[in-house]
Each structure stands twice: as C-alpha cells, then as structure tokens.
A and B are shown apart, each in its own frame.
Chain A
Amino acid sequence: MSSEWPLWEIFIRSQHGLAHKHVGSLHAVDAQMAIRNARDVYTRRNEGISIWVARSADIHASSPGDKDALFEPSNDKVYRHPTFFPMPDEVKHI
C-alpha cells in the first residue's frame, strides 16, 4: 500500500485585513497542492484573500505542561495594563 500524503496546517487571512488565522489542516503532496486544496476546502465563500500553508511536522508548539512556567510570570505584572493607573476625572484624553 502507498504511504499517506503529508499533513499541512492552513492559515487564512480574511477580507478584513486581520492576521492569518489557523483554520484547520489537509493532506497534499507539496506546498503548491496544499494551497490549491486549501482554496477549495477553506475558502468556498470568500473567506479569505491570502493563504499560508506549513507542514504540520514543521510546527513546534509549547506543551500544556509548561503552561505555568511560560505564562504564570505575567500574572503578577498588572502594572503592564493601563487600568493599573487610575486617572483623575478632571484629566481628559488619556
């Protein structure tokens, strides 16, 4: 039996000038075919104006176990948010 075509992750930039967003995956033999298939599978109704494809095997992800080590430190840095600094009512446009 033949081997399976590689899996690709598909990212689409919508009409609205937003960043490319992950929409799902599909199988294709190469990047060109992945883009062509992504057009048929993920943009049948004008959902996008640009497509990125990347081999799933090339994507590296943080692991759920590292969540605390990665994201915990920013929890106690509330001063990074503007709401940390109350402004007097009299002061406008700030």
Chain B
Amino acid sequence: MYAQMVDTGVSKVQDVAQMTPEERAFQDRIDADVKVEPKDWMPEAYRRTLIRQIQQHAHSEIVGMLPEGNWITRAPSLQRKATLMAKVQDEGGHGLYLYCAAETLGVSRDAMIADLHAGRVKYSSIFNYPTLTWADIGTIGWLVDGAAIMNQIPLCRCSYGPYARAMIRVCKEESFHQRQGYDIMLALCRGTPEQKAMAQDALNRWWWPSLMMFGPPDAASVHSAQSARWKIKLLSNDELRQRFVDQTVPQADYLGLAVPDDRLAWNAERGHYDFGEIDWQEFHEVIKGNGPCNRERMQTRIKAWEDGAWVREAALAHAEKHAARERHAA
C-alpha cells in the first residue's frame, strides 16, 4: 500500500513463551485494544517498524503530489484547476500529519527526509508511473485514492494512537479525492469518442499498478504476521485487493469502460470477482528503482529540498534575530 512490504526486523513472529514480562504486558494491552501512546513503553522492534511504516506512508503522500501537480497548469477549466490544487494541497497535509505522527516515536523530520533522499526508505510504487493525459488525473483520484481509502480505513483502528488519529483525519478528506476523480471520468466518458478513448487508455495503464499498490500476497510473510500481531496491519494485502476489485469493477461498468483483464469474471460461488495474475516482476522492478519515473521523482524532491535550504535558514535566522531584539527590549 502506501507503506508496502514494511520490514519488522524479526525473523519469526515472537512466541509468547519467549517474551519478557514487559513485552507480554505490552502484547496484552494490544490484544485488549488499548492504544499505545508516545510515552508508553514499547518494544524496540515495534517502534522501529512503525517509524518505517509511517515514514513510508508520509513520503508516499509527498511524492504523490508530483504526478498530479504535473497537470495543475493544464487543467481543462478553472473549476478543475481549483479542485486539483485543493486535492494536491490535501496530500501535502496528509504527509505533514504523518511526519508528525512519526516524530512522536523519536525520529526527526530531517532524518526522515534524509532517508528518503538516500533511498533507504521507499514510497509507494504507484507514484513512479507517469501522468500522460488529463484522464490520468481522473483515474488517479478514482483508483489510487480509492485503493488508499481501502487501506487507510482499517488503519484508523491501529494500535498506535498518533497514527490512528492521523488516519482518521486523512480518511475524512479522501472521499473528496476519489469523487473528484470519478467525476472527471464521468465527464470524459459522457464526452466525445476521443475523450472516452482517453479515459479507456488511462484505465488500461493504471489498473494493474493500482492492484500492485496492495503489495504481494502476504500469506507467507513473517513481517505481515508480526505487524498483524501488533495491530499495525489489520487486513491482509489479498483481502484488501479483493475488496478493491469488487468495489471498482461495477464503477468501471457504469462508466462503460473495460477493465483490462481477460480473466476478470464474477464468481457467484465465492461472491467475489476472480481476476488475472499480477506481474510481480514489474512490481519488484519499480520498488527497486527501475520504474518509469523513479529517478525523476527523486531528483525533483531532492532539488526542491536543496533549493529551499536558504529559505529555511533565512527564516530561522530572522526569527532568532527578532527573539533576541525582544529579549533586549524587555
């Protein structure tokens, strides 16, 4: 998802018998749905895993502004432009809520940004794909924000208080994102044949990467099992992906668009859609840095950070000078 394949640093899920009394008391509280708060004792592995997860999530929100920001100057009307600016600004806000949740775990903002820029911490694979046409903006809101909602709603109940509270805030804002995207798709699909073809082309390119957002099947992953135990992962990748497909296919039908999957079929027995094989090779390549836009995204982020350095320094110096003058006057 926005935090894909989070490493917990454990090689097997910890057995109750091997827990220290502190660790057992901690797990008991989690099992009883008591929230963990910043000053509470927590196992180091829990703290480190959460820092990685929240940080990946935050970076995804920030890097996720780039593909959409690409179309702000070219939005087809003033209303669409204002809407897109508000949407992208929200994503910046989501990044900030999440960075401050991570900071409560004792990591600094600068350290997180350094981790991103050095490639030590990833962001979601989805933001490494290009936005070629206006229909991509509709598709991102509809599919990518739709997938994000699917993942973020359960996280509102996660065990770490500041993360859960940030997610509640984020979820309140996401449904606007998804609807404005679907609204763009509706307009294109009700438009000229060229506009409808543009919408179909965008769906063709974004469908599979959207399914990859949920990450590889995690049945065999010890990290997923440990994260589930800690209640920082509440549903499996495959469960979320299935929900997403079930919810999205009828929406595509309504638009009159074809989901690019020959094997997609309603399975009455399961009560779910069956769907085709995901190209995990492509996913791993994108995660490794070899997607269509990985280099460009990182260069843009690093450039923005470095170009802004003098502003950050000047603002701080100015505030310090003012504070000194006030002390003097007092």
CB distance from B28 to the nearest CB of A (A): 15
A25 close to chain B: CB less than 8 A = yes
A26 close to chain B: CB less than 8 A = yes
**Across-interface contacts of B93 in A (CB, < 8 A):** 40-41, 44
Contact string, A31-57, partner B, CB cutoff 8 A, digits 1/0? Answer: 001000000110011000000000000
**Across-interface contacts of A1 in B (CB, < 8 A):** 110
How far, in whole Å, are A63 and B38 apart by their CA atoms in the complex? 10
Residues B60-112 near A (CB distance < 8 A) = 86, 89-90, 93, 96-97, 100-101, 103, 108-110
Q: Are B312 and A25 in contact (CB under 8 A)?
A: no
CB closest chain-A residue, reference B37: A64
Interface residue tally for chain A (C-beta within 8 Å): 21
A2 close to chain B: CB less than 8 A = yes
Q: Are A41 and B96 in contact (CB under 8 A)?
A: yes
Stretch of A3-11, A68-76, A79-87 with 4 or more beta carbons under 8 angstroms from chain B: A3-11
Interface residue tally for chain B (C-beta within 8 Å): 29
Stretch of B151-159, B252-260, B273-281, B317-325 with 4 or more beta carbons under 8 angstroms from chain A: B317-325
- Contact among A2, A23, A29, A61 with B39 in the assembled complex (CB-CB below 8 Å): A61
Contact string, B34-46, partner A, CB cutoff 8 A, digits 1/0? Answer: 0001011100000
B166 close to chain A: CB less than 8 A = yes
Contact string, A18-33, partner B, CB cutoff 8 A, digits 1/0? Answer: 0000011111011001
Q: Are A29 and B316 in contact (CB under 8 A)?
A: yes
How far, in whole Å, are A88 and B100 apart by their CA atoms in the complex? 53
Counting chain B CB atoms within 10 Å of each CB, the highest count among A4, A5, A24, A41 belongs to: A24
B219 close to chain A: CB less than 8 A = no
How far, in whole Å, are A26 and B319 apart by their CA atoms in the complex? 16
Residues B96-134 near A (CB distance < 8 A) = 96-97, 100-101, 103, 108-110
B194 close to chain A: CB less than 8 A = no
**Across-interface contacts of A33 in B (CB, < 8 A):** 315, 319
CB closest chain-B residue, reference A7: B103
- Contact among A26, A27, A64 with B41 in the assembled complex (CB-CB below 8 Å): A64
CB distance from B308 to the nearest CB of A (A): 10
Q: What residues make up the interface of A, taking CB atoms closer than 8 Å to B?
A: 1-5, 7, 23-27, 29-30, 33, 40-41, 44-45, 61, 63-64
Cross-chain pairs A/B with CB under 8 angstroms, 25 sampled: A1-B110, A2-B312, A2-B313, A2-B316, A3-B316, A4-B108, A7-B100, A7-B103, A23-B169, A24-B97, A24-B100, A24-B101, A24-B165, A25-B100, A26-B100, A29-B318, A29-B319, A30-B319, A40-B93, A41-B93, A41-B97, A44-B89, A64-B37, A64-B40, A64-B41
Q: What residues make up the interface of B, taking CB atoms closer than 8 Å to A?
A: 37, 39-41, 86, 89-90, 93, 96-97, 100-101, 103, 108-110, 165-166, 169, 173, 309, 312-313, 315-316, 318-319, 322-323
